[in-house]
Structure 1
Protein backbone atom coordinates (compact mmCIF):
# COMPACT_ATOMS: atom_id res chain seq x y z
CA UNK A 1 0.00 0.00 0.00
CA UNK A 2 1.14 3.56 -0.63
CA UNK A 3 1.11 5.90 2.36
CA UNK A 4 1.36 9.62 1.77
CA UNK A 5 2.39 11.52 4.90
CA UNK A 6 1.60 15.22 4.76
CA UNK A 7 2.90 17.51 7.48
CA UNK A 8 2.77 21.22 8.04
CA UNK A 9 6.45 21.90 8.52
CA UNK A 10 9.09 19.40 9.45
CA UNK A 11 10.72 18.24 12.67
CA UNK A 12 12.82 21.03 14.13
CA UNK A 13 14.35 19.36 17.17
CA UNK A 14 17.25 16.90 16.82
CA UNK A 15 15.44 14.08 18.65
CA UNK A 16 12.42 14.51 16.39
CA UNK A 17 14.49 14.50 13.19
CA UNK A 18 16.29 11.33 14.35
CA UNK A 19 13.00 9.64 15.32
CA UNK A 20 11.32 10.63 12.06
CA UNK A 21 14.25 9.34 10.01
CA UNK A 22 14.41 6.05 11.92
CA UNK A 23 10.70 5.20 11.68
CA UNK A 24 10.43 6.42 8.10
CA UNK A 25 13.24 4.02 7.17
CA UNK A 26 11.56 1.16 9.05
CA UNK A 27 8.13 1.85 7.56
CA UNK A 28 9.51 1.82 4.01
CA UNK A 29 10.13 -1.93 4.42
CA UNK A 30 6.36 -2.47 4.43
CA UNK A 31 4.80 0.35 2.42
CA UNK A 32 5.59 2.70 -0.41
CA UNK A 33 6.00 6.01 1.33
CA UNK A 34 5.68 9.56 0.10
CA UNK A 35 6.36 12.49 2.41
CA UNK A 36 5.18 16.00 1.60
CA UNK A 37 5.91 18.95 3.85
CA UNK A 38 3.65 21.92 3.29
CA UNK A 39 3.56 25.44 4.62
CA UNK A 40 1.16 28.30 4.71
CA UNK A 41 0.59 31.66 6.25
CA UNK A 42 -2.54 30.57 8.10
CA UNK A 43 -4.79 27.61 8.88
CA UNK A 44 -6.95 28.09 5.77
CA UNK A 45 -3.96 28.15 3.45
CA UNK A 46 -2.41 25.09 5.15
CA UNK A 47 -5.66 23.13 4.86
CA UNK A 48 -6.09 24.06 1.19
CA UNK A 49 -2.58 22.85 0.47
CA UNK A 50 -3.13 19.60 2.39
CA UNK A 51 -6.28 18.88 0.36
CA UNK A 52 -4.52 19.66 -2.91
CA UNK A 53 -1.46 17.49 -2.29
CA UNK A 54 -3.56 14.59 -0.96
CA UNK A 55 -5.26 14.46 -4.34
CA UNK A 56 -7.75 11.63 -4.69
CA UNK A 57 -6.32 9.49 -1.89
CA UNK A 58 -8.59 8.98 1.11
CA UNK A 59 -7.43 11.61 3.61
CA UNK A 60 -6.96 10.73 7.26
CA UNK A 61 -6.49 13.80 9.42
CA UNK A 62 -4.81 13.68 12.78
CA UNK A 63 -7.29 15.58 14.88
CA UNK A 64 -8.34 15.48 18.55
CA UNK A 65 -11.98 15.02 17.49
CA UNK A 66 -11.16 11.76 15.76
CA UNK A 67 -11.35 8.11 16.62
CA UNK A 68 -8.60 6.55 18.67
CA UNK A 69 -7.14 3.23 17.57
CA UNK A 70 -5.40 0.46 19.41
CA UNK A 71 -2.33 -0.79 17.58
CA UNK A 72 -4.24 -3.91 16.54
CA UNK A 73 -7.21 -1.82 15.45
CA UNK A 74 -5.02 0.42 13.31
CA UNK A 75 -3.43 -2.65 11.75
CA UNK A 76 -6.86 -4.10 10.92
CA UNK A 77 -8.05 -0.76 9.51
CA UNK A 78 -4.99 -0.43 7.25
CA UNK A 79 -5.36 -4.04 6.10
CA UNK A 80 -9.02 -3.45 5.22
CA UNK A 81 -8.12 -0.29 3.30
CA UNK A 82 -5.41 -2.16 1.41
CA UNK A 83 -7.86 -4.86 0.34
CA UNK A 84 -10.93 -2.79 -0.42
CA UNK A 85 -9.59 0.68 -1.01
CA UNK A 86 -7.64 2.68 -3.53
CA UNK A 87 -4.25 1.29 -2.56
CA UNK A 88 -3.25 4.66 -1.14
CA UNK A 89 -3.97 6.60 2.02
CA UNK A 90 -2.93 10.14 2.87
CA UNK A 91 -2.30 11.12 6.51
CA UNK A 92 -2.06 14.78 7.49
CA UNK A 93 -0.78 16.52 10.59
CA UNK A 94 -1.90 20.14 10.71
CA UNK A 95 -0.17 23.21 12.00
CA UNK A 96 -0.61 24.87 15.39
CA UNK A 97 -4.26 25.76 14.70
CA UNK A 98 -5.13 22.29 13.38
CA UNK A 99 -7.28 21.66 10.33
CA UNK A 100 -10.17 23.78 9.09
CA UNK A 101 -13.75 22.59 9.52
CA UNK A 102 -14.00 22.32 5.72
CA UNK A 103 -11.02 19.97 5.51
CA UNK A 104 -12.31 17.89 8.44
CA UNK A 105 -15.74 17.60 6.80
CA UNK A 106 -14.20 16.27 3.58
CA UNK A 107 -11.81 13.84 5.24
CA UNK A 108 -12.18 10.09 4.97
CA UNK A 109 -11.44 9.72 8.68
CA UNK A 110 -10.32 11.72 11.69
CA UNK A 111 -7.72 9.98 13.85
CA UNK A 112 -6.89 11.10 17.37
CA UNK A 113 -3.58 10.12 18.92
CA UNK A 114 -5.18 10.65 22.34
CA UNK A 115 -6.48 13.37 24.59
CA UNK A 116 -3.08 14.90 25.28
CA UNK A 117 -1.90 17.85 23.23
CA UNK A 118 1.37 16.81 21.61
CA UNK A 119 3.99 19.13 20.19
CA UNK A 120 4.14 18.92 16.41
CA UNK A 121 7.57 17.24 16.42
CA UNK A 122 6.41 14.51 18.78
CA UNK A 123 3.12 13.94 16.93
CA UNK A 124 5.10 13.30 13.76
CA UNK A 125 7.15 10.59 15.48
CA UNK A 126 4.07 9.01 17.09
CA UNK A 127 2.33 8.87 13.69
CA UNK A 128 5.23 7.06 12.06
CA UNK A 129 5.78 4.68 14.97
CA UNK A 130 2.06 3.80 15.06
CA UNK A 131 2.04 3.06 11.33
CA UNK A 132 5.23 1.01 11.65
CA UNK A 133 3.82 -0.98 14.58
CA UNK A 134 0.61 -1.63 12.63
CA UNK A 135 2.66 -2.88 9.67
CA UNK A 136 4.62 -5.30 11.87
CA UNK A 137 1.37 -6.61 13.39
CA UNK A 138 -0.01 -7.24 9.90
CA UNK A 139 3.20 -9.02 8.94
CA UNK A 140 3.07 -11.19 12.08
CA UNK A 141 6.41 -9.89 13.32
CA UNK A 142 7.38 -9.66 17.00
CA UNK A 143 7.89 -5.88 17.31
CA UNK A 144 4.47 -5.54 18.93
CA UNK A 145 4.24 -7.45 22.17
CA UNK A 146 0.94 -6.11 23.52
Structure 2
Protein backbone atom coordinates (compact mmCIF):
# COMPACT_ATOMS: atom_id res chain seq x y z
CA UNK A 1 0.00 0.00 0.00
CA UNK A 2 1.20 3.48 -0.91
CA UNK A 3 -0.05 6.36 1.20
CA UNK A 4 0.55 9.98 0.25
CA UNK A 5 -0.29 12.92 2.46
CA UNK A 6 -0.46 16.24 0.64
CA UNK A 7 -0.42 19.09 3.13
CA UNK A 8 -0.51 22.83 2.55
CA UNK A 9 2.29 24.51 4.48
CA UNK A 10 5.54 23.44 6.06
CA UNK A 11 5.94 22.24 9.61
CA UNK A 12 8.06 24.88 11.28
CA UNK A 13 8.14 23.93 14.94
CA UNK A 14 10.40 21.05 15.91
CA UNK A 15 7.77 19.33 18.04
CA UNK A 16 5.39 18.97 15.05
CA UNK A 17 8.23 17.59 12.92
CA UNK A 18 9.22 15.15 15.68
CA UNK A 19 5.65 13.92 16.13
CA UNK A 20 5.17 13.36 12.39
CA UNK A 21 8.56 11.69 12.06
CA UNK A 22 7.66 9.28 14.87
CA UNK A 23 4.50 8.10 13.11
CA UNK A 24 6.23 7.96 9.73
CA UNK A 25 8.88 5.73 11.32
CA UNK A 26 6.21 3.47 12.84
CA UNK A 27 4.38 3.23 9.52
CA UNK A 28 7.41 1.89 7.63
CA UNK A 29 6.47 -1.69 8.47
CA UNK A 30 2.95 -1.29 7.09
CA UNK A 31 3.01 0.93 4.01
CA UNK A 32 5.13 3.24 1.93
CA UNK A 33 4.13 6.66 3.26
CA UNK A 34 5.28 10.00 1.96
CA UNK A 35 4.34 13.54 2.84
CA UNK A 36 4.29 16.24 0.17
CA UNK A 37 4.19 19.80 1.41
CA UNK A 38 2.87 22.46 -0.95
CA UNK A 39 3.43 26.15 -0.31
CA UNK A 40 0.78 28.00 1.63
CA UNK A 41 -0.27 31.36 0.23
CA UNK A 42 -0.91 34.51 2.21
CA UNK A 43 -4.35 35.75 1.10
CA UNK A 44 -3.29 39.36 1.75
CA UNK A 45 -0.44 39.00 -0.73
CA UNK A 46 -2.19 37.07 -3.49
CA UNK A 47 -5.57 38.74 -3.83
CA UNK A 48 -7.73 37.21 -1.10
CA UNK A 49 -8.84 33.83 0.21
CA UNK A 50 -10.19 32.61 -3.12
CA UNK A 51 -6.93 33.39 -4.91
CA UNK A 52 -4.96 31.63 -2.14
CA UNK A 53 -7.20 28.54 -2.41
CA UNK A 54 -6.82 28.47 -6.20
CA UNK A 55 -3.03 28.80 -6.09
CA UNK A 56 -2.69 26.15 -3.38
CA UNK A 57 -5.19 23.98 -5.26
CA UNK A 58 -3.09 24.01 -8.41
CA UNK A 59 -0.10 22.79 -6.41
CA UNK A 60 -2.18 20.11 -4.68
CA UNK A 61 -3.52 18.81 -8.00
CA UNK A 62 0.00 18.75 -9.49
CA UNK A 63 1.17 16.64 -6.55
CA UNK A 64 -1.63 14.07 -6.78
CA UNK A 65 -0.35 10.64 -7.73
CA UNK A 66 -2.06 9.08 -10.75
CA UNK A 67 -4.72 6.46 -10.01
CA UNK A 68 -4.84 7.26 -6.31
CA UNK A 69 -7.97 7.15 -4.18
CA UNK A 70 -8.23 10.69 -2.82
CA UNK A 71 -9.54 11.42 0.67
CA UNK A 72 -9.89 15.12 1.47
CA UNK A 73 -9.90 16.15 5.11
CA UNK A 74 -12.82 18.53 5.52
CA UNK A 75 -14.88 19.56 8.54
CA UNK A 76 -18.03 18.71 6.55
CA UNK A 77 -16.70 15.26 5.62
CA UNK A 78 -17.79 11.87 6.88
CA UNK A 79 -16.82 11.14 10.46
CA UNK A 80 -15.42 7.68 11.05
CA UNK A 81 -14.13 5.93 14.14
CA UNK A 82 -10.58 4.59 14.12
CA UNK A 83 -12.05 1.18 13.30
CA UNK A 84 -14.03 2.80 10.49
CA UNK A 85 -10.91 4.41 9.02
CA UNK A 86 -9.18 1.03 9.19
CA UNK A 87 -12.12 -0.67 7.47
CA UNK A 88 -12.24 2.05 4.80
CA UNK A 89 -8.51 1.67 4.00
CA UNK A 90 -8.97 -2.12 3.83
CA UNK A 91 -11.99 -1.75 1.53
CA UNK A 92 -10.07 0.54 -0.82
CA UNK A 93 -7.17 -1.93 -0.92
CA UNK A 94 -9.53 -4.87 -1.53
CA UNK A 95 -11.07 -2.99 -4.46
CA UNK A 96 -7.68 -3.21 -6.17
CA UNK A 97 -6.45 0.30 -5.43
CA UNK A 98 -2.98 0.38 -3.92
CA UNK A 99 -2.56 4.15 -3.63
CA UNK A 100 -4.44 6.39 -1.20
CA UNK A 101 -3.86 10.13 -0.97
CA UNK A 102 -5.02 12.25 1.95
CA UNK A 103 -5.23 16.01 1.46
CA UNK A 104 -4.96 18.59 4.24
CA UNK A 105 -5.84 22.02 2.86
CA UNK A 106 -4.64 25.42 3.92
CA UNK A 107 -6.09 27.89 6.39
CA UNK A 108 -8.51 29.20 3.74
CA UNK A 109 -9.70 25.71 2.82
CA UNK A 110 -9.29 24.20 -0.64
CA UNK A 111 -10.41 25.16 -4.12
CA UNK A 112 -13.44 23.65 -5.82
CA UNK A 113 -11.05 21.80 -8.16
CA UNK A 114 -9.53 20.01 -5.17
CA UNK A 115 -12.99 19.12 -3.84
CA UNK A 116 -13.89 17.79 -7.27
CA UNK A 117 -10.75 15.62 -7.39
CA UNK A 118 -11.59 13.90 -4.10
CA UNK A 119 -13.24 10.50 -4.08
CA UNK A 120 -14.50 11.21 -0.58
CA UNK A 121 -14.15 13.58 2.34
CA UNK A 122 -13.19 12.68 5.89
CA UNK A 123 -13.66 14.71 9.06
CA UNK A 124 -12.05 14.41 12.47
CA UNK A 125 -15.14 16.07 13.94
CA UNK A 126 -16.63 19.50 14.18
CA UNK A 127 -13.66 20.92 16.05
CA UNK A 128 -11.13 23.10 14.26
CA UNK A 129 -7.61 21.70 14.34
CA UNK A 130 -4.51 23.65 13.41
CA UNK A 131 -3.19 22.17 10.18
CA UNK A 132 0.00 21.04 11.90
CA UNK A 133 -1.99 19.09 14.48
CA UNK A 134 -4.31 17.69 11.82
CA UNK A 135 -1.27 16.21 10.10
CA UNK A 136 -0.10 14.53 13.31
CA UNK A 137 -3.61 13.19 14.00
CA UNK A 138 -3.91 11.90 10.44
CA UNK A 139 -0.59 10.05 10.58
CA UNK A 140 -1.50 8.58 13.96
CA UNK A 141 -4.88 7.42 12.65
CA UNK A 142 -3.30 5.82 9.58
CA UNK A 143 -0.87 4.00 11.87
CA UNK A 144 -3.71 2.95 14.17
CA UNK A 145 -5.71 1.77 11.13
CA UNK A 146 -2.95 -0.62 10.07
CA UNK A 147 -2.58 -1.93 13.64
CA UNK A 148 -6.35 -2.55 13.83
CA UNK A 149 -6.40 -4.20 10.39
CA UNK A 150 -3.67 -6.64 11.44
CA UNK A 151 -5.22 -7.35 14.81
CA UNK A 152 -2.17 -5.99 16.59
CA UNK A 153 -2.44 -4.41 20.03
CA UNK A 154 -2.62 -0.65 20.29
CA UNK A 155 -3.67 1.40 23.27
CA UNK A 156 -7.33 2.37 23.40
Q: Same fold (TM over 0.5)?
A: yes
Stretch moving more, 21-30 or 10-19: 10-19
Aligned counterpart for 1:127 among listed residues 138, 144, 156: 138
Which runs of structure 2 are paired with 1:67-78 in the superposition (5 Å)?
67-78=78-89
Q: Which residue of 1 aligns with 2:38?
A: 38
Aligned counterpart for 1:48 among listed residues 43, 58, 61: 58
Q: Which residue of 1 aligns with 2:44?
A: none
Q: Which residue of 1 aligns with 2:4?
A: 4
Q: Does 1:14 align with 2:27?
A: no
Cα distance in 1, alignment partners of residues 142 and 91 from structure 2: 14
Per-residue deviation, residues 75-112 of structure 1 (Å, max 9, x unmatched) = 00000111113210111111111111232123101111
Structure 1 runs of 4+ aligned residues shifted over 2 Å read none
Aligned residues: 145
Structure 1, unaligned stretches of length 5 or more?
A: none
Q: Is the 8 A contact 1:63 1:99 kept in 2?
A: no
Q: Which residue of 1 aligns with 2:114?
A: 103
Cα distance in 1, alignment partners of residues 152 and 97 from structure 2: 25
TM-score by length of 2: 0.87
Q: Is the 8 A contact 2:57 2:111 kept in 1?
A: yes
Cα distance in 2, alignment partners of residues 16 and 114 from structure 1: 21
RMSD across aligned C-alpha pairs, in angstroms? 1.3
Structure 2, unaligned stretches of length 5 or more?
A: 42-51
3-state SS, counterpart of residue 46 of structure 1: helix
When Rg is computed on C-alpha atoms for both structures, the one with the higher figure is: 2
